[in-house]
């Protein structure tokens, strides 16, 4: 487990689990790229009218 100190509190890295999340956005390309960059995931992939971000169940 990775631990980081942020000012007056300490935080441990935690795993997130995303399961079929749909998010409305004005710019789906910019939003999906932001999400994949934020969580260190592979780049987004177009799928019909959607942009898919594959999280492989867990992202750290």
Residue 38 three-state SS? helix
pTM: 0.57
Domains in the chain: boundaries: 16-59
4 has which bridge partners?
A: 11
Q: Give 2-59 pLDDT, tens digit per residue.
A: 555 556 666 677 776 767 778 788 999 999 999 888 888 888 999 998 898 877 655 4
Distance CA 24, CA 22 (A): 7
pLDDT of res. 38 = 86
Burial of 53 (0-12, 13-18, 19+ CB in 10 A): buried
């Amino acid at each position: 487990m990775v631990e980081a100190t942020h000012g007056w509190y300490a935080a441990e890295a935690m795993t997130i689990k995303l399961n079929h999340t749909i998010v409305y956005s004005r710019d789906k390309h910019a939003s999906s790229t932001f999400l994949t960059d934020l969580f260190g995931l592979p780049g987004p992939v177009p799928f019909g009218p959607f942009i898919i971000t594959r999280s492989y169940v867990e992202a750290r």
